[in-house]
Amino acid sequence: MASTQAAQATGDPAPDEPRTWTIAEVAEEFGVTHRAVRHYEELGLLSPERRGTQRIFHPRDRIRLALILRGRRIGFPLEEIRTIINMYDEQPGEAGQLRYLLAQIDDRRTELESRRRDIEDSLAELATLERRCHEDLAQFS
């Protein structure tokens, strides 16, 4: 009882309660703006507890935010991220989620490899053009 009262006085969770975070804390931890966190909530990707106007983030929300940001870094659109994240809670569960994610990774890798080939071709064309420009410029010297 005394430890619960002490925890309430300091704002820390009681020993048997899970840790929670404010929007400011999760935004700072993950290096995103409050607006981004609210945007993910509006899209239904996050669902923090509400206490009045205050958002209370639980460990599940932090995990979901980490997955959202990881998905964004590797180029998944938010709809794909939503599908992948939500599959964990639905049938076929984690195994289905992982199979789906593997297929999406394969698709994303194929797309990125194609882009890389396009970039390499463009760089080669630029190098050829640059060489020709130097050769033409040398004729004027």
The per-residue pLDDT for range 56-83, each reduced to its tens digit, is: 999 999 999 999 999 999 889 999 899 8
pLDDT tens-digit series, residues 76-104: 999 989 988 887 776 666 787 788 889 98
pLDDT tens-digit series, residues 4-14: 444 444 455 56
What is the structure's pLDDT at 12?
58
Domains of the chain by start residue, with CATH: 2-90 (1.10.1660.10)
User: pTM for the whole thing?
Assistant: 0.65
For residue 92, give Cα distances in angstroms to 53, 87, 95, 101: 35, 7, 7, 13
